[in-house]
């Protein structure tokens, strides 16, 4: 055996420390000692050397007292003390919440059937319904100790002003609450208080005092030279206070004008930044003047002492100070001067004339006036005068002289009404000839302003007579044919009914004695050819004669439409009715392409349509006609097609059958093009396609693919070396259990029984069988003092996802939580984890990875369409339109949720702009590039907001979204419900934000059952269940030898009862006890002890005591209450 240390270290001096040990012959130990009623783990004939051990186990009916193992020492002796096997039980179970009564504390052996009592530890109160005892059973183990002591409850901690209290778990003994302050306040005192035992030890109270939330304040803001701030009159500068700085006149401010009180560490107030600075005095740029300038045009800064000089443009003179100086106050020494022009006096008036400057008050150089004369006067000189730069008018002034015409002379004629010597401009004279002469020229003339007659004076020539007017067929002249007709006379013809006049209706007798030509004629009445209109034509082009009543209809060239009445008719007067129509540019291009219908054959290849044209559609495969809605659109006057109503509706697939042990998730609806997902229940996996789509099959619609099935998950066959399993099968499925047993000489390390879980693993893990020496590390069930309660902490969160148990605080073994991802992310790994027997969550955790949203391609199609793609997936896109990129185009989903190369855009179809983003929410189309008609997006809100409006909107054929985007409003709960015999405590308002908590307390005499606090949930409702207030009643315990002086076995809070002992018993303790609010009696219930009698012999007394003790082992005392009016009595009955 090793003599010395079993380890040595090489030191810096080259020596080993401690010194190298030596191996000396081991001193063997004798065979293990024989212990009565015990069996050792090794044969007594084996050799035992130092370090070996042997473990003893007691025979049935005996329990082990002491350490079960002995070790062979280096001295050749077995370690001491030896264990022993006693009939009965060992030391009773040690409990967290209670301790043994004094009479049993130092006792280590207890016979079978022995019952021991416990007393609640400080901070715990007796449970009225559960006996505080355990009993030694026949298998030498103690019966399970129930939780007969429960933690006392502290009063609800009050909230500090300007702060709030956070109840972390509950208000029971040992729990803690945390305090926080409102923004702008700092916590003074302890941020955490614990529910602990009071100084008297009977009650529980909160540790320390309620902390105080004090306002965070800043020091006064610093003053600045040549400036001031708005906080001069303020006393304190609390959190968020704003002060604003201003500078003295002439001093520019540099920096932020306003600063505010804030905090960096949550305790001390600091200003948000340094104060601004007021610079040196300077003047603003000197003002500009009209018609002038100053010498500082190129100067940017005008410091104190600088000067500028002003000058005027030519023709203007300076009024005011020509030089301005920048003073030390930052102002200019004088106002800016002005440039005033040299003015001309008002122009002179002229006789018999005027000028256009009568209403002008000021005449600046360059200004002009125009002169004109009155009628009958002529302007002599320049009509326009100008104001010169020296303030005088250009000369000479014009003048107006009278204008006159001489008497006109006409041979063989005269001026009608006589003649004058002169005529003024505007006078008109009339001429006439002597008989036998006729006037050649105008019979009137006017005196012009230039003194001439206009038109020229006529002449009188000898007259030549005309023959009678000619006879015209179907016409009647206006004069008799026998009259004499001289030059200048005329005759007018009118046609007989049914004829129309062709030519001029009148003929004149000319000076040559002939009638003027051509003669008119009367033809059968008809209208001329209909007038042509631009960009249009009329029907009946082959007609040449249009009689009264005939109508024609106009139509326009392609791309134009008729404006006005399209038809006109020939009137009785031989004219066409008015007004004429006209053709205006306009019309419609090819009708819109609809995803649910296509044009009928007659319109498919037509590209131009006139206003008013109506085209028809037929439903696409997968759609059927909607009754009552015509399948047409019309070209409107605004050159757009009327809105296409959804006259074809999607056909509906039958409700899909759910797989056994699974369910169907309907994503949107059951209509053509929609999809459903198939999922399995826990412990089952899907065989087949998880998603099916409502597709076209001939003229019908049906679900794609075969329905999947849900099979139980299969766990690997469990294997254990040096052991065996209870059930041998070829395969083990979900929830199958197997038990393990080791071969002789081996000990099981782990759990005897495991179960197949949903993740195809065994829970707990499969145990191992190790050779027997390890058994000494096991705690035998008979020695177990308490059974620890194993629970898991709240499950971990995952990025871009959440789990299903947000509001749970504790998780028992086997508890399941399910994970899900936000829209646009997909789950990698198992969607659920469970709480294992070791108090940890099963691994690995799933994760959420960003995926690519299904690409939206208007006027095209996606080959291999899915709702979400993983990085590396490839889609193929084909455009329908000739305007888009030709052929198939591939794009791959990238790790960041984008497509590379970018998705192609198929032109020719309207599409919607990106849907608007909303505050505190998102939509499902964040990664989509093109939103074609029919595509939809769904909006979602963050966890503490609720959606108001339409959650799903779709892109219409017009390229607009079907509904306005919704909004996300903060979740609010209304006033929490009241409870009977209780009330709400703390700050109560009409509404509460998501996550807020309120607490309840009970009226005096009542105790709160359940959780004192409830939380405002994501749904806008309060979490359940509500606590309740139950009346406090104490239960009278079973006490040996007590007389009953009051009736009933339960008592209200504050009830006093007085106890007396039966004859032969003596009271130990205080006789009067009171029911407390923690269901206990104060002082504790006294005991009745057997009294000793001096008159009896010692032997007889001892014998009597032994008899009474023997009887007491098998007696169960029961309290029977008998109620009588006005009193209570207590009686005991023994049951054997």
- Over residues 896-944, the pLDDT tens digits come to 677 777 777 666 556 788 888 888 888 887 657 677 777 888 888 876 6
Residue carrying the six token digits 């024609």: 552
Where does the pLDDT of residue 775 fall: very low under 50, low under 70, confident under 90, or very high at 90 and above? very low
Q: How far apart are CA 630 and CA 1067, in angstroms?
A: 102
Instruction: Tell me if the bond preceding 81 is cis, omega within 30° of 0.
Output: yes
- Homologous superfamily of domain range 713-774: Complement Module, domain 1 (2.10.70.10)
Indicate the SS3 state at residue 604: helix
User: What pLDDT does residue 262 have?
Assistant: 93
Domain 353-402 fold: Complement Module; domain 1 (2.10.70)
pLDDT for position 927: 59
The rounded distance, in Å, linking the Cα atoms of 100 and 117 is: 6
Q: Which of 342-346, 577-581, 856-860 has the lowest mean pLDDT?
A: 856-860
C-alpha angle 243/245/250, rounded to 5°?
170
pLDDT at 556: 84
Q: For the structural domain made of 282-341, what CATH number should be given?
A: 2.10.70.10
The residue among 108, 99, 149, 152 whose CA lies nearest residue 128 is 149
Tokens of 1131: 């009686």
Q: Could you give the CA distance from residue 152 to residue 126 in angstroms, rounded to a whole number?
A: 9
Q: Is 635 left (phi over 0), alpha (psi -120 to 50) or beta?
A: beta
CB 769, CB 743: distance < 8 Å: yes
What per-residue confidence (pLDDT) applies to 885? Answer: 54
CA 523 vs CA 472, 491, 729, 1127: distances in Å: 11, 19, 120, 142
Over residues 636-667, the pLDDT tens digits come to 877 888 888 888 988 888 888 889 988 888 88
Q: What is the reported pLDDT for 120?
A: 92
Mean pLDDT lowest for which of 115-119, 191-195, 560-564, 738-742?
560-564
The DSSP string of 154-205 is PPPPPPPTTEEEEESS-SBTT-EEEEEE-TTEEEES-SEEEEEE-TTSSSEE
Give the range among 333-337, 429-433, 858-862, 962-966 with minimum mean pLDDT: 858-862
More confident position, 324 or 879? 324
Rounded CA gap, 889 and 885, in Å? 8
In the predicted model, what is the mean pLDDT of residues 619-641? 87
Q: Give the model's pLDDT for residue 867.
A: 59
Q: How far apart are the first and last CA of the chain?
A: 63
CB 831 within 8 A of CB 846: yes
pLDDT bucket at 458, cuts 50 / 70 / 90: very high
Which of 379-393, 521-535, 1049-1063 is predicted with the least confidence, judged by mean pLDDT?
Answer: 1049-1063
* CATH class of the 405-462 domain in this structure: mainly beta
Greater confidence (750 vs 1019) lies with 750
Beta partners for residue 1014, in sequence order: 998
pLDDT given for residue 776 in this prediction: 30
Q: Which residues pair with 539 in a beta bridge?
A: none
The yes-or-no verdict on residue 691 having pLDDT over 90 is yes
Q: What is the mean pLDDT of residues 702-713?
A: 91
Do 425 and 376 touch, CB atoms closer than 8 A?
yes
CA-based nearest residue to 208, from 187, 231, 234: 187
3-state helix, strand, coil in the chain (%, to 5): 5, 40, 55
For CATH 2.10.70.10, the residue range(s) in the chain are: 217-278, 282-341, 353-402, 405-462, 475-524, 536-585, 597-650, 713-774, 1034-1136
State the pLDDT at residue 110.
85
pLDDT at residue number 113: 83
Task: Check whether 1004 has a pLDDT greater than 80.
Answer: no
For domain 217-278, the CATH superfamily is Complement Module, domain 1 (2.10.70.10)
Average pLDDT over residues 75-92: 85
- Looking at the DSSP bridge assignments, the partners of residue 237 are 218
What fold is seen in the domain 475-524?
Complement Module; domain 1 (2.10.70)
Region 420-447 average pLDDT: 85
SS3 706: coil
CATH topology of domain 536-585: Complement Module; domain 1 (2.10.70)
Task: Examine the pLDDT at 1133 and tell me if it is beyond 50.
Answer: no
Cis peptide before 67 (omega within 30 of 0): no
Q: Pairing relation of β-strands 237-238 and 217-218?
A: antiparallel
DSSP 8-state secondary structure symbol assigned to residue 796: P
Q: Contacts from 692-696 at CB under 8 Å and sequence distance 24+?
A: 692/656, 694/652, 694/653, 694/670, 695/622, 696/621, 696/622, 696/672
Residue with tokens 């070791």: 838
Say which CATH class 1034-1136 falls into.
mainly beta
Residue 940: is it exposed, middle or buried by C-beta count within 10 angstroms (0-12/13-18/19+)?
A: middle
* Per-residue pLDDT, 617: 94
pLDDT of residue 1130: 35
Peptide bond into 598 cis (omega under 30): no
pLDDT at 1100 over 50: no
Which region among 534-538, 720-724, 919-923 has the lowest average model confidence (pLDDT)? Answer: 919-923
DSSP, collapsed to helix, strand or coil, labels residue 973 as: strand
* Upper half-sphere CA count for residue 975 (Cβ side, 13 Å): 9
Residue 626 above 70 pLDDT? yes
The two tokens of residue 644 are: 């296409």
Burial 14-41 (b: 16+ CB within 10 A, else e): eeeeeeeeeeeebeebebbeebebbebb
Spatial separation of the C-alpha atoms in residues 999 and 1014, rounded to whole Å: 7
Least confident of 458-467, 593-602, 1038-1047: 1038-1047
Task: Give the residue with greater pLDDT, 1134 vs 1089.
Answer: 1089
Task: Convert 320-333 to b/e letters by CB count within 10 Å (16 or more is b).
Answer: eeeebbbeeebebe
Measured distance CA(96)–CA(90) in Å, rounded: 19
Reduce the DSSP state of residue 602 to 3 states and report it. helix
Class of domain 597-650: mainly beta
Residues 6+ apart with CB under 8 A from 524: 498, 499, 500
Is pLDDT of 1053 > 60? Answer: yes
Q: Is 782 helix (H, G, I), strand (E, B) or coil?
A: helix
pLDDT band, residue 432 (cuts 50/70/90): confident
Residue carrying the six token digits 């106050």 = 329
What mean pLDDT value characterizes the chain? Answer: 81
Q: What percent of the chain has pLDDT over 70?
A: 89
Count the neighbouring beta carbons within 10 Å of the beta carbon of residue 946: 19
Query: Hey, which of 38-47, 434-443, 771-780, 802-811 has the most confident mean pLDDT?
Result: 434-443
Per-residue CA distances from 740 to 1, 67, 767 (Å)? 39, 28, 8
Band (774; pLDDT cuts 50, 70, 90): very low
Look at the block and give the residue holding tokens 């009024």: 319
Q: Return the minimum-mean-pLDDT range out of 15-24, 448-457, 476-485, 527-536.
A: 476-485
Q: Is the pLDDT of residue 26 over 80?
A: no
């Amino acid at each position: 055996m090793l003599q010395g240390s079993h380890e040595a270290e090489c030191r810096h001096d080259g020596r080993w420390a401690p010194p190298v040990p030596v191996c000396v012959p081991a001193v063997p130990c004798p065979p293990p000692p024989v212990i009565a009623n015990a069996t050792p783990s090794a044969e007594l004939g084996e050799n035992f050397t130092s370090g070996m051990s042997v473990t003893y186990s007691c025979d049935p009916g005996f329990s082990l007292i002491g350490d079960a193992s002995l070790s062979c020492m280096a001295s050749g002796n077995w370690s001491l003390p030896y264990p022993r096997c006693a009939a009965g039980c060992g030391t009773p179970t040690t409990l967290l919440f209670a301790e043994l009564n004094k009479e049993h504390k130092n006792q280590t052996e207890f016979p079978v059937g022995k019952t021991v009592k416990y007393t609640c530890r400080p901070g715990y109160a007796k449970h009225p319904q559960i006996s505080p005892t355990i009993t030694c059973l026949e298998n030498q183990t103690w019966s399970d100790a129930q939780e007969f002591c429960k933690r006392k409850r502290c009063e609800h901690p009050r909230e500090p002003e300007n702060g709030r209290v956070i109840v972390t778990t509950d208000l029971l003994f040992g729990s803690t609450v945390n305090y926080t302050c409102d923004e702008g306040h700092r916590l003074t005192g302890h941020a955490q208080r614990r529910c602990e035992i009071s100084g008297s030890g009977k009650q529980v109270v909160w540790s320390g005092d309620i902390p105080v939330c004090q306002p965070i304040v800043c020091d006064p803001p610093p003053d600045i030279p040549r400036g001031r701030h708005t906080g001069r009159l303020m006393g304190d500068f609390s959190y968020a206070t704003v002060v604003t700085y201003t500078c003295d006149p002439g001093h520019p401010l540099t920096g932020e004008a306003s600063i505010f009180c804030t905090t960096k560490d949550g305790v001390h107030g600091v200003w948000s930044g340094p104060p601004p600075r007021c610079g040196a005095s300077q003047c603003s740029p000197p003002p500009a003047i009209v018609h002038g300038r100053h010498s500082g045009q190129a100067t940017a800064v005008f410091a104190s002492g600088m000067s500028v000089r002003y000058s005027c443009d030519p023709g203007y003179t300076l009024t005011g100070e020509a030089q301005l100086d920048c003073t030390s106050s930052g102002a200019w020494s004088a106002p800016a001067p002005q440039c005033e022009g040299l003015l001309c006096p008002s122009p002179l008036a002229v006789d018999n004339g005027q000028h256009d400057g009568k209403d002008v008050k000021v005449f600046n150089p360059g200004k002009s006036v125009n002169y004109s004369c009155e009628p009958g006067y002529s302007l002599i000189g320049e009509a326009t005068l100008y104001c010169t730069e020296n303030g005088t008018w250009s000369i000479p002034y014009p003048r107006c002289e009278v204008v006159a015409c001489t008497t006109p002379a006409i041979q063989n004629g005269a001026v009608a009404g006589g003649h004058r010597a002169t005529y003024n401009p505007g006078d008109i004279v009339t001429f006439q000839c002597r008989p036998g002469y006729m006037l050649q020229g105008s019979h009137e003339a006017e005196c012009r302003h230039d003194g001439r007659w206009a038109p020229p004076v006529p002449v009188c020539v000898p007259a030549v007579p005309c023959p009678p007017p000619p006879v015209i067929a179907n016409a009647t002249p206006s004069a008799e044919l026998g009259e004499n007709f001289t030059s200048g006379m005329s005759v007018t013809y009118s046609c007989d009914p049914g004829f129309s006049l062709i030519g001029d209706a009148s003929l004149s007798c000319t000076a040559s004695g002939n009638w003027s030509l051509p003669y008119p004629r009367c033809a059968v009445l008809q209208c001329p050819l209909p007038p042509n209109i631009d960009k249009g034509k009329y029907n009946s082009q082959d007609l040449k004669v249009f009689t009264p009543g005939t109508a024609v209809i106009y139509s326009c060239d392609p791309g134009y439409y008729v404006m006005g009445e399209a038809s006109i008719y020939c009137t009785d007067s031989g004219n066409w009715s008015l007004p004429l129509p006209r053709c205006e540019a306009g019309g419609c291009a090819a009708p819109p392409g609809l995803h649910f219908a296509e044009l009928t054959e007659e319109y498919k290849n037509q590209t131009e349509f006139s206003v008013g044209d109506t085209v028809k559609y037929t439903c696409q495969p997968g759609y059927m006609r909607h009754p009552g809605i015509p399948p047409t659109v019309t070209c409107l006057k605004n050159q757009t097609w009327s809105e296409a109503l959804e006259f074809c509706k999607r056909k509906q697939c039958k409700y899909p059958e759910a797989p056994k042990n699974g369910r169907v998730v309907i994503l949107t609806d059951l209509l053509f093009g929609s999809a459903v997902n198939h999922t399995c229940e826990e412990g089952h996996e899907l065989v087949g396609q998880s998603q099916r789509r409502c597709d076209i099959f001939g003229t019908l619609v049906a679900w794609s693919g075969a329905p999947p099935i849900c099979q139980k998950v299969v766990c690997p066959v469990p294997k254990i070396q040096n052991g065996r399993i209870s059930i041998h099968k070829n395969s083990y499925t979900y929830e199958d259990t197997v038990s393990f047993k080791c071969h002789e000489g081996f000990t099981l390390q782990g759990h005897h029984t495991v179960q197949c879980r949903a993740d195809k693993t065994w829970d707990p893990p499969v145990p191992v069988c190790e050779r027997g020496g390890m058994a000494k590390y096991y705690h035998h069930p008979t020695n177990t003092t308490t059974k620890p309660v194993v629970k898991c902490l709240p499950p971990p969160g995952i990025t871009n996802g959440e789990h299903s148990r947000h509001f749970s605080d504790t998780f028992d073994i086997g508890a399941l939580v399910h994970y899900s991802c936000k829209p646009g992310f997909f789950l990698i790994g198992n969607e659920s984890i469970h709480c294992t027997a070791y108090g940890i969550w099963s691994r690995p955790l799933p994760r959420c990875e960003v995926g690519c949203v299904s690409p939206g391609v208007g006027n095209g199609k996606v080959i291999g369409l899915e709702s979400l793609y993983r990085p590396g997936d490839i889609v193929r896109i084909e455009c329908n339109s000739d305007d888009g990129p030709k052929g198939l185009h591939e794009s791959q989903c990238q790790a960041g949720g984008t497509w590379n190369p970018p998705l192609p855009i198929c032109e020719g179809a309207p599409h919607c702009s990106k849907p608007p983003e909303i505050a505190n929410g998102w939509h499902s189309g964040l990664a989509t590039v093109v939103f074609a008609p029919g595509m939809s997006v769904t909006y979602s809100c963050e966890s503490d907001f609720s959606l108001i409006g339409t959650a799903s909107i779709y892109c219409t054929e017009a390229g607009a979204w079907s509904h306005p985007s919704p909004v996300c409003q903060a979740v609010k709960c209304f006033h929490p419900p009241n409870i009977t015999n209780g009330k709400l405590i703390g700050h109560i308002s009409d509404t509460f934000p998501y996550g807020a908590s309120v607490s309840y307390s009970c009226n005096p005499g009542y105790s709160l059952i359940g959780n004192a606090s409830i939380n405002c949930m994501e749904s806008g409702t309060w979490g359940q269940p509500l606590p309740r207030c139950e009346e406090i009643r104490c239960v009278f315990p079973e006490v040996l030898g007590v007389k009953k002086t009051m009736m009933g076995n339960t008592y209200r809070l504050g009830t006093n009862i007085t106890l007396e002992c039966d004859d032969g018993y003596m009271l130990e303790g205080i006789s009067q006890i009171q029911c407390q609010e923690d269901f206990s009696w104060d002082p504790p219930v006294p005991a009745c002890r057997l009294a000793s009698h001096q008159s009896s012999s010692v032997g007889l007394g001892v014998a009597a005591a032994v008899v009474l003790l023997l009887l007491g082992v098998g007696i169960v005392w029961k309290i029977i209450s008998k109620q009588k009016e006005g009193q209570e009595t207590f009686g005991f009955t023994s049951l054997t």
